[in-house]
Structure formats: structure tokens, C-alpha cells
Amino acid sequence: MTGRPFMEPGLEEPILVIDEGRRDKLPPGKWVRRHLFNSWHNTLVTVLLVLLLGYAAYRFGLFLFVNGRWSPVRRNLTLFMVGRYPREELWRIVAQVVIWSGTIGLAWGVAIAGASFRASQTGVAYREDPLLTKVRRYWGLLGLLLLLLLLTESFGPLILALVAIGVGALLQVIGKRVPGQYADLMWAAVGVLAVGGYQIVSGFHGRGWIWMATPLALGAVRLVGRIAWTDPRRERLMQLGVVAGVFGIGYVAYSMLDLEGVGWDHWEGLHLNLIVATVAIVLAFPLGLLLALARRSSLPALRVMATSYIELIRGVPLISLLLMAQFFIGFFLNTTTPLSALTRAIAAFTLFTAAYIAEIVRGGLQSVPKGQIEAGQSVGLSPFRVTRSIVLPQALRAVIPAMVGQFIALFKDTSLLSIIGMAEILQVRALVHAQAEFRGFGIAETLVFVMLAFWAFSFTMSRESQRLERKLGIGER
């Protein structure tokens, strides 16, 4: 592997060497001398900065491990995690953590299997990241987990963490072992697990069967497609029959089971922040994509609607939208609660973020040269195929950093839920300090704890986006 030097005329050395491996091949001692102590003023700056940083680190360490009054966090850890969620139903969240950990593991394994399958088909060797790289990639989250375990007062959370990681690792191995051509079935399984993990808390009842039956039906359709059919019409018929069958069975099963759980209106604490952010991200992305395409559409009505939507939503503060959804919908519709409070809050987050995503994606769409579209048209692709296979892949690739930035902002904005009376993690902090023994006690510590929780997830999102950028070669072309 050779580095790519950037030369400046008149200099003997390259000013910058980009290398996937080590940036600098000098031995540590020499590196330090060349970069930190090469002149008297650099030496002075180095010494001063080391002293300053060392003192700051010392004070922070002292605060973290010695002086910090962590008892408000320690005592109320469950409150910070799940808020006022009923304690006798806590097993549901435990099960959810394990199932979703398994879901992530399986998805990860299947993705690796798919990548190596594609690589083998194109004749390129696929190299999986070593374990240490993976650990380094997620050190923010692992650090938060460690902090949580240090703060717990029982072994329950430790066992939960070990079981969850174990299940995730096991399913990852299984996902990797399954041959690449079965990837679609595995993705259906991921979908079923994800829905199951959600419904173990929210309950298996009502309209939940739609969510469960959708991945099952998709998997079943793919399964039917595997059979070598002689008559394509019979294949279509069979697929329709299978879909109808799955939906029918799902409907009957759910109306017979009818197991009530704890609806998401009772989800609080960090659990709520994560759910709201995840759901809003998953919903806002496709909505934003459609809005961006609509805004560039040649149909004036569509364009006007998309543009006015984007400009209207982008022009108002998020908090005003949240308040609107929370307290004023009732006045417009003249009814008390058409949708639950949390559903309306998530709708507000989704609508708000979608407008921003639309503008980010539009930026990406505009960066795709016109020649690309014309090339697609000239080989006779339909407008849909041109957008789907030529424009969008390039446009989305270009806007990953901005998009992830928007998602991180959305995650942090979930702290605004406290203003509309929902006990997300920042509001839990206020609850804790209303308790008699923690009134005005340890207020810095609880704030640091909440900040760390937000930071760990935001940082992990950022690292994932950087990995994606590197993988897709953004910034190098």
C-alpha cells in the first residue's frame, strides 16, 4: 500500500500523505521530536498544552471518579432508562433488548454474507473487519454500556448485557453462515424479529398483525419465487395466494391472541428518545426522498405542493410544531384525542425532518450531471429506472454526511419532548431532582450522565456514516 502524496511546488516533502494504513511510518520517539519539539516555540506550546490538557483531564477524572456525587443517577438508573414505565412489565423491555440485539446481529451477519457473496461473484476477495476494528468502531456505545454497568446496584443489567451481546453475536454468526442466495429470506427474518421485538412491549393485538405479516409475506413471496415454475401465471397466482394466506393467518392469530402490552405512550426515559428518533428517521427518509423528487418533478401541482410544504415546515421552529401537534390539533378537529400524544409528537418530528431531508437530497440530485440522466434515457430506460438506478445512488451517496448530521440533530431534538410533558431522559433528570433526597443535589453529575448518553449514540451514528463514506469512496473522487 502506497500513500497518495500531495505535493506543493518548492517543498521537498509532501504536505499531506493519505494512506489507509498508518499515517506516519516514523518511530514514535522520532515522530514526537519532529512534530512536537522541532523548535523552541513549538516546544513551549507543546509543554503548555500538555500541562493544560493534563490538568483538565485530572480535574475531570477527579470529578468523574472521586468527587462526583453519582447517587442520584445510581438510585434512579431505571428511571433514566425507562421513566415511569410500569415496573412489573419490565421483562418486556428486557426481552426487547435481547430480541433487537439479535436482530441487529442477524442483519449485520446477513449484510456481511451478502457483501462476500457479491464480492465472490465479481471475483474480488472479501475481507471482514477484525474484531478489534469493530470494537473500536463502537467504543462510544461500549463505553456507555460500561458506565451503566458501573452504576447499577444489581447483577440484572450485567446479565442482560451479556445475554444480549451473546444473542447478537450468535445470530451474526448464523447470518454469516447462511449462503448469500438466501439473503432475501434472512432479511424477512430480520423484519420479523424487529417487529416482534417492538410488539413484545406494545402487545400482540389490534392492527399489529399488519406489521408482523408484511415481512412474513415478503419472505413467502420470495420462497414461492424460488420454485422453478413452468407457467408464470400460476406463479403469480400462487404468490397472491400465499400473501393472502399469510395476512389472513396473521389477522386471525392476532385477534385470537389479543395480548395487550404496554403501549408506546407509556415508554419514557432514554428508551423513548431512542424509539422516537429511530421511528422518525425511518419514516422521514422515504418521505423526504419523495418530497425532493416531487420538488424537481415536471408536474407543476406536485412541484408547488412539495415546495410549499418544505418551505412552510422549514420556516417554523420544531418546538412550535410539537406544541401544535400536542395541544392545538384538538381545537381544529373538535375532538379530544384522534391519535395518541406520542404518535402526534413522532408525526411532528417526522414531518419536520422530512422537509430538511428533502432539501439535502435535492442538493444531491442537483449534483448528478445531466449527462448521466441523458445516458440513461439514450439506452431506453424508463424515467423511473433512470431515477432509481442512476440518479438516486449517486445523489444519496453524495449527501451521506449532511443526512447523518440531520439524523443526529433529530436524535438530540428528542430532548424537546420534555417541553410537551413527556418524560424523556432530560426530563427524567428534572424528576430526579424533585425527589426529596436529591433536591439540588448532584445536578452537574446527572447532566453529565444525560450528555454522555446522547453523545454515545450520536458519536456512533457519526462513526457509522464515516465508515459508509470511506466504503463508498466519498471525498476521494
Q: Give yes or no for residue 435 binding other proteins (CB under 8 A).
A: yes
Q: Which is nearer to other proteins, 121 or 335 (CB)?
A: 335
* Residue from 247, 433, 452, 466 in contact with other proteins (CB under 8 A): 433
Q: Which is nearer to other proteins, 258 or 374 (CB)?
A: 258
Q: Which stretch binds other proteins (CB under 8 A): 140-148, 167-175, 247-255, 416-424?
A: 416-424
* Residue from 242, 443, 452, 474 in contact with other proteins (CB under 8 A): 443
φ and ψ of 225, to 5 deg: -65, -20
Contact positions with other proteins (CB under 8 A) in 241-270: 268
Which positions ≥6 away from 363 have C-beta within 8 Å? 398, 399, 402
Q: Give yes or no for residue 101 binding other proteins (CB under 8 A).
A: no
Binding-site string for other proteins from residue 323 to residue 362, where x marks contact by CB under 8 A and - marks none: x--xxxxxx-xxxxxx--x---------------------
* Residue from 147, 149, 419, 468 in contact with other proteins (CB under 8 A): 419
Q: Which is nearer to other proteins, 316 or 375 (CB)?
A: 316
Give the chain as a 3 state SS string. CCCEEECCCCCCCCCEEECCCCCCCCCHHHHHHHHHCCCHHHHHHHHHHHHHHHHHHHHHHHHHHHHCCCHHHHHCHHHHHHCCCCHHHHHHHHHHHHHHHHHHHHHHHHHHHHHHHHHHHHCCCCCCCCHHHHHHHCHHHHHHHHHHHHHCCCCHHHHHHHHHHHHHHHHHHHHHHCCHHHHHHHHHHHHHHHHHHHHHHHEECCCHHHHHHHHHHHHHHHHHHHCCCCCHHHHHHHHHHHHHHHHHHHHHHHHHHCEECCCHHHCCHHHHHHHHHHHHHHHHHHHHHHHHHHHCCCCHHHHHHHHHHHHHHHCCCHHHHHHHHHHHHHHHHCCCCCCCHHHHHHHHHHHHHHHHHHHHHHHHHHHCCHHHHHHHHHCCCCHHHHHHHHHHHHHHHHCHHHHHHHHHHHHHHHHHHHHHCCCCHHHHHHHHCCCHHHCCCCHHHHHHHHHHHHHHHHHHHHHHHHHHHHHHCCCCC
Q: Which is nearer to other proteins, 335 or 378 (CB)?
A: 335
Q: Which is nearer to other proteins, 2 or 298 (CB)?
A: 298
Q: Which stretch binds other proteins (CB under 8 A): 38-46, 172-180, 372-380, 414-422?
A: 414-422
Return d(Cα 77, Cα 64) in angstroms, integer: 17
Return d(Cα 366, Cα 151) in angstroms, integer: 49
Q: Which is nearer to other proteins, 133 or 435 (CB)?
A: 435
* Beta carbon of residue 84, minimum distance to other proteins (angstroms, whole number): 4
Contact positions with other proteins (CB under 8 A) in 72-91: 75-76, 78-79, 82-87
Q: Which is nearer to other proteins, 76 or 353 (CB)?
A: 76
Q: Which stretch binds other proteins (CB under 8 A): 22-30, 137-145, 232-240, 417-425?
A: 417-425
Return d(Cα 138, Cα 463) in angstroms, integer: 8
Q: Which is nearer to other proteins, 268 or 359 (CB)?
A: 268
Q: Which stretch binds other proteins (CB under 8 A): 50-58, 246-254, 384-392, 422-430?
A: 422-430
* Beta carbon of residue 294, minimum distance to other proteins (angstroms, whole number): 12
Q: Give yes or no for residue 441 binding other proteins (CB under 8 A).
A: yes
The CA distances from residue 288 to 179, 214, 357, in Å, are 34, 23, 5
Q: Give yes or no for residue 430 binding other proteins (CB under 8 A).
A: yes
CB 131 within 8 A of CB 447: no
Return d(Cα 171, Cα 111) in angstroms, integer: 12
* Beta carbon of residue 206, minimum distance to other proteins (angstroms, whole number): 17
Q: Give yes or no for residue 434 binding other proteins (CB under 8 A).
A: yes
Return d(Cα 46, Cα 40) in angstroms, integer: 10
* Beta carbon of residue 143, minimum distance to other proteins (angstroms, whole number): 24
Q: Which is nearer to other proteins, 296 or 433 (CB)?
A: 433
Binding-site string for other proteins from residue 185 to residue 224, where x marks contact by CB under 8 A and - marks none: ----------------------------------------
Contact positions with other proteins (CB under 8 A) in 276-315: 299-302
CB 418 within 8 A of CB 326: no
145 alpha-carbon distance from chain centroid: 17
* Beta carbon of residue 277, minimum distance to other proteins (angstroms, whole number): 21
Q: Which is nearer to other proteins, 183 or 431 (CB)?
A: 431
* Beta carbon of residue 75, minimum distance to other proteins (angstroms, whole number): 5
Q: Which stretch binds other proteins (CB under 8 A): 2-10, 97-105, 390-398, 415-423?
A: 415-423
* Beta carbon of residue 343, minimum distance to other proteins (angstroms, whole number): 13
Q: Which stretch binds other proteins (CB under 8 A): 272-280, 322-330, 355-363, 396-404?
A: 322-330
Q: Which residues bind other proteins (CB under 8 A)?
A: 75-76, 78-79, 82-87, 268, 299-302, 323, 326-331, 333-338, 341, 419-421, 423, 427, 430-431, 433-436, 439-441, 443
